[in-house]
Amino acid sequence: MKSFPRDDVALVIGSSGGIGAALLRELERNDAFSATIGLGRSSMPPLDLLDEASIAACAAHVAGIGHPRLIIDATGVLHAASLQPEKSWRQLDAKQMTQAFAINAIGPALLMKHLLPLLPREGKSVFASLSARVGSIGDNRLGGWYSYRASKAALNQFVHTAAVELKRSRPAAICVALHPGTVRTALSSPFAKDRVEVQSPDVAAARLLDVIDRLDIDDTGGFFDHHGQQVPW
């Protein structure tokens, strides 16, 4: 991570997930940061995207350690016991849609609310939220997956809007959405297809951190894949 000023803090939210854990390991091996913090529902303190008070408490905890120079939001849900990607509008369910938006869009927006003010006012800093290519409206040719697509599209809008506001107080800060590709994790493995490149979490983490390292201020508010290519909105 050669593009960052040294001796500040790196933070990974969702660090118990497949990609989040790999990102945390990779950052811990890097000597660019004075501390690397992983947060999630099982961390101390715990962070629950559905509980804003826990997000605020974790932000205070991080602030007590140092300035977060790099914040990666690696949270998200595609499927759960009570949530499955819809193949048709006939399967739309208000409770499932609410769950998808709460975790994929509203929770990350609250992370921005409490964590973006902690970014240093000078020097490169990055807030990166893991989105998904299927959240692209322009790239949607197959349909289906209504709640996941729409909630990730909402996340992309939150990221872009936050980037506009962030620039006013922290002109060197970068706020982006990143598509990690298809990764061999519990989230995406059930839906991986033979024709799709499936990466290990460690490969995905290395690629994402390389993209983050190459970002500059002109990229803020953008949506990029794990190769650094821009993804259409």
Residue 165 is predicted with a pLDDT of 98
φ, ψ for residue 166, nearest 5 deg: -60, -35
Question: When comparing pLDDT for 80 and 38, which is higher?
Answer: 38
Count of all residues that appear for the chain in the document: 233
- Which is nearest to 105 in space by CA: 81, 128, 129? 129
Q: How far is CA 153 from CA 2, 3, 156, 170, 232, in A?
A: 31, 29, 5, 25, 11
Residue 34 is predicted with a pLDDT of 92
pLDDT tens, position by position, 59-92: 999 999 999 999 999 999 997 777 788 899 999 9
Per-domain boundaries in the chain:
8-225
Q: How far is CA 6 from CA 30, 49, 58, 193, in A?
A: 11, 29, 23, 41
pLDDT band at 193 (very low <50, low <70, confident <90, very high): low
* % the chain with pLDDT above 70: 95
Tokens of residue 187, six digits: 């989230």
pTM: 0.93
Exposed, middle or buried: residue 81 (CB in 10 Å: 0-12, 13-18, 19+)? Answer: exposed
CA 232/CA 133 separation, integer angstroms? 9
Tokens of residue 123, six digits: 């020097």
pLDDT band at 93 (very low <50, low <70, confident <90, very high): very high
Its CATH architecture, for the domain 8-225, is 3-Layer(aba) Sandwich (3.40)
